[in-house]
A and B are shown apart, each in its own frame.
Chain A
C-alpha cells in the first residue's frame, strides 16, 4: 500500500511537469494583463518541434531549445496581434491553438509520413531519468529514504527544471524590479505609462518568458514523457494548466499545487486497482469513464470558483491605448 502511494505520487510528479511549466508561463502573461488561452498551442507546437529537432540532431537539449523557439514565436504572434495591434486577445489565442493543431500535423505528415507521428526517439535523444546522489544508499531507510529514492530521485532533467521554475517565478514576480512593473502593468497600465515605463515593452518581455515556459512544457510531452510527437498530444493540457493558474490566483505556489492535484487525477486514472473497493458498487466501465472525465470536470469546478473566488489582474484582456 505504502509503495503504491509512493508510486502514484511519483507518477503525479511526472505528469504534473507540463502543467507546472505552462502554468508558470501563464502567470507571466496574465500578470502583465495579456490573456493566455494559447498555452495549448504553445505546448503542442513545442512538443512537435522538440521531437523533430531531437530526431534530427539526436539531442534532447537541442529539441528543448527548438521548443523554446516555437513557444516564443507563438507568443510573439500573440503579442503582435493583442499588444501591438490591440486585437481581441481571446480570438488571437484560439487562432494560435487551431493554427498549431493544423501546422504540426501537416508538417509531421509531410516530413515523416507516419500519420501525424514523428519517429521514435532513441534514449540518447530523450530526457532520461537522473539518479540523484546516494539514492541507492538511502533506499532502505524507512520513509525518508524511500521518499528520496522513489519520489525525489530518478526523474529526468525537465522535472527538476519545472520545480525549480516555481520558486524562480515566485521570486521574479514578487521580489524583482521586473516583477513590480509586471504586476503594475496588469493592474493599471495607465499608471505604469505615466511613470515613464513602456506598457507594451513590459508585456512583450512577459510574453517572451511565457513562450519559453510554454514551449518547454511541450518538449516534456514528446521528449521526456513519451519518445515521439503524436497528433493532438496536448489534449487540453494547456487549458487545464490555465485553470490551475486561475485557481492558484495567479500565484506560483498555489498554482503549482493545483497542477499537482490535476496530475494526481491523471495518475490514479492509470492505476485503477486502487479502486478495487468500489468495484462491487460501481460498474467498472462507469468508473473508468468517470476517471477519464475527472480532470475536465475538476477544471470546470475550479473555474466556477467553488474553491474560492479568484480575482484576476484588473487590466487583463484590455489592450493598452492612450487615445480616447
Chain B
C-alpha cells in the first residue's frame, strides 16, 4: 500500500514538473514577443477567476474539455490515439442540433435523453468507422481520425450552408430552436435557489459532465468491459489468449470515444448557442488530448486538467484582449508543449524525482 502511495506521489510530482516546463517555455515565448510573462500570468488568472463572469466562462470551457478529455482517455486505455474528437464532436453535435430542431415542442425531459442518445449514435458512428479500419484493416487511427475530421468539416459546411441555413440568412448556421429545449443556464439554476450570479454560457451540462466523469471511472476500472478494453490496450496478445476480441473492443472503445466527444454538442448547442453553428467544436477536440495526457487518463486527473485548460482558454482570451501581441492561439501552443512534455517526454525527470521522493521518505 505504501508503495502505491509513493508511486502516486512520484506521478503527481512528475506531472506537475512537466506542466511547469511547458508553462516556462510558453513564458519564454511571451518574453520573446516583448511582453512581460509575469503580467501575462496575472492577467490570465484574473481573467479566469477574478470575477464571476470569468469563472463562468472558465467552467463552461471546462465542461467541453471534460468530454473530449474522456473521449481521448477511453481510446488511450484501449491503446488507441484518438485525435478525432474534433470530428466526432462536430457530427455528434449535428445530431444534438437536429433533435432539438425536430422536437422543439417537446419537453426538455424527453428531448435531453434523446439528444444524448443521438449524439452517442452519430458521434459513435464517426468514431466507429476509423475504429473498424483500425481493427479490421490495421489503418493507423491517427491518420484516419484526422481524415474524418476533415470529412466532417466538409459535410458540416455543406449541410449548414445548403440544407439548414434558413433562406435569406447569410451565415451558414441553422435557425435558433425554441426555448423549451434549451438546457437551463447556470444563472437560472442558481436563481431557483434564490442566488444571483452573472449570466454566462455555463449551463446544466456541467453537472452532466461531472456525472460522465464518475461513470467513465467506474466503467474503466470496475466493469468487465473496462477490464477488456484495458487488456486490449496494454497487451493485445494476452487479450487474444484470454478470448477477448481485440477488434470488437477497439470498435467499442471508439464508439464510446465518439459518443463522449459528441456531448460537446450538448454543452455548445443545447446549452449555449441554441443553434447549429460552423466550427462550434474548433480546437476543443485537440485540447482533449492534452487534457487527458496531463490528467494521466484518469477521470480525476482529467477533471483537474480540464479546469486548467478552461482557465487557459478563458484567461487567454482575456489576455489577448489586454495585450495586443499575444494571440488566443497561445493556448494551442501550450497544448503542444503539454502533449510533448506530459506525453512523449513524460519520464524526462522521473529518475530525479524518484530519487528525491526516496530521500524524502525512506522505507
For the complex, is B40 an interface residue (Cβ under 8 Å from A)? no
Q: How far is the CB of B235 from chain A (nearest CB, A)?
A: 15
B142:A110 contact, CB within 8 angstroms: no
B151:A91 contact, CB within 8 angstroms: no
For the complex, is A99 an interface residue (Cβ under 8 Å from B)? yes
A102:B162 contact, CB within 8 angstroms: no
Q: Which of B83, B150, B327 contacts A106 (CB 8 A)?
A: B327
A94:B138 contact, CB within 8 angstroms: no
Query: Across the interface, which residues of B come within 8 angstroms of A299, CB to CB?
Result: 143-144, 147
Closest to B333 in A: A102
Query: Across the interface, which residues of A come within 8 angstroms of B347, CB to CB?
Result: 85, 87
Q: How far is the CB of A59 from chain B (nearest CB, A)?
A: 24
Give complex CA distance A100, B144 in Å: 20
Query: Across the interface, which residues of B come within 8 angstroms of A102, CB to CB?
Result: 329-336
For the complex, is A268 an interface residue (Cβ under 8 Å from B)? no
B147:A296 contact, CB within 8 angstroms: yes
Give complex CA distance A100, B138 in Å: 28
* Interface residues contributed by chain B, number (CB under 8 Å): 48
A81:B340 contact, CB within 8 angstroms: yes
For the complex, is A224 an interface residue (Cβ under 8 Å from B)? no
Residue from B293, B332, B344, B348 with most neighbouring chain A CB atoms (10 Å): B344
Q: How far is the CB of B336 from chain A (nearest CB, A)?
A: 3
Q: A91-B293, A106-B330, A300-B139 are in contact. Are A98 and B335 (CB under 8 A)?
A: yes
Q: How far is the CB of B323 from chain A (nearest CB, A)?
A: 10
B144:A293 contact, CB within 8 angstroms: no
Query: Across the interface, which residues of A come within 8 angstroms of B290, CB to CB?
Result: 98
Q: Which of A82, A87, A98, A285 contacts B162 (CB 8 A)?
A: A285
A303:B327 contact, CB within 8 angstroms: no
Which chain B residues numbered 148 to 193 have a C-beta less than 8 Å away from chain A? 148, 150-151, 154-155, 157-158, 162
A106:B326 contact, CB within 8 angstroms: yes
Residue from A82, A97, A306 with most neighbouring chain B CB atoms (10 Å): A97
Which applies to chain B's interface (DSSP): helix, strand, loop or mixed?
helix
B81:A106 contact, CB within 8 angstroms: no
Q: A88-B344, A106-B29 are in contact. Are A293 and B154 (CB under 8 A)?
A: yes
A100:B336 contact, CB within 8 angstroms: yes
Closest to B334 in A: A102
A303:B344 contact, CB within 8 angstroms: no
Q: A85-B348, A99-B337, A236-B147 are in contact. Are A94 and B142 (CB under 8 A)?
A: yes
For the complex, is A180 an interface residue (Cβ under 8 Å from B)? no
A101:B336 contact, CB within 8 angstroms: yes
Closest to B149 in A: A236
For the complex, is B343 an interface residue (Cβ under 8 Å from A)? yes
* Interface residues contributed by chain A, number (CB under 8 Å): 46
For the complex, is B133 an interface residue (Cβ under 8 Å from A)? yes
Closest to A297 in B: B151
For the complex, is B4 an interface residue (Cβ under 8 Å from A)? no
Residue from A77, A97, A99, A285 with most neighbouring chain B CB atoms (10 Å): A99
B33:A300 contact, CB within 8 angstroms: no
For the complex, is A272 an interface residue (Cβ under 8 Å from B)? no
Query: Across the interface, which residues of B come within 8 angstroms of A88, CB to CB?
Result: 343-344
Q: A102-B329, A110-B325 are in contact. Are A304 and B150 (CB under 8 A)?
A: no
For the complex, is A164 an interface residue (Cβ under 8 Å from B)? no
| Cβ contacts A93-132/B at 8 Å (1 or 0 each) | 1111111111101110110010010000000000000000
Q: How far is the CB of B361 from chain A (nearest CB, A)?
A: 27
Give complex CA distance A37, B143 in Å: 8
Query: Across the interface, which residues of B come within 8 angstroms of A285, CB to CB?
Result: 158, 162
Query: Across the interface, which residues of B come within 8 angstroms of A297, CB to CB?
Result: 147, 151
Query: Across the interface, which residues of B come within 8 angstroms of A293, CB to CB?
Result: 150-151, 154-155
For the complex, is A72 an interface residue (Cβ under 8 Å from B)? no
A90:B81 contact, CB within 8 angstroms: yes
A109:B345 contact, CB within 8 angstroms: no
Ranked 6 nearest A-B pairs via Cβ:
A99-B336, A102-B333, A102-B332, A92-B344, A95-B340, A87-B344
Give A residues with C-beta under 8 Å from B: 37, 77, 81-82, 85, 87-103, 105-107, 109-110, 113, 116, 235-236, 239, 242-243, 285, 289, 292-293, 296-297, 299-300, 303-306
Give B residues with C-beta under 8 Å from A: 29, 33, 81, 83, 130, 133, 137-140, 142-144, 146-148, 150-151, 154-155, 157-158, 162, 286, 289-290, 293, 324-327, 329-337, 339-340, 343-348
16 A-B interface contacts by CB (under 8 A): A81-B345, A87-B346, A90-B81, A94-B81, A94-B343, A95-B337, A95-B339, A99-B333, A102-B335, A106-B330, A296-B148, A296-B150, A299-B144, A303-B140, A305-B138, A305-B139
- Given A102-B333, A289-B155, A299-B144, 11 more contacts at CB 8 Å? A91-B344, A92-B340, A97-B336, A101-B286, A106-B333, A109-B325, A110-B33, A236-B150, A239-B143, A293-B154, A296-B151
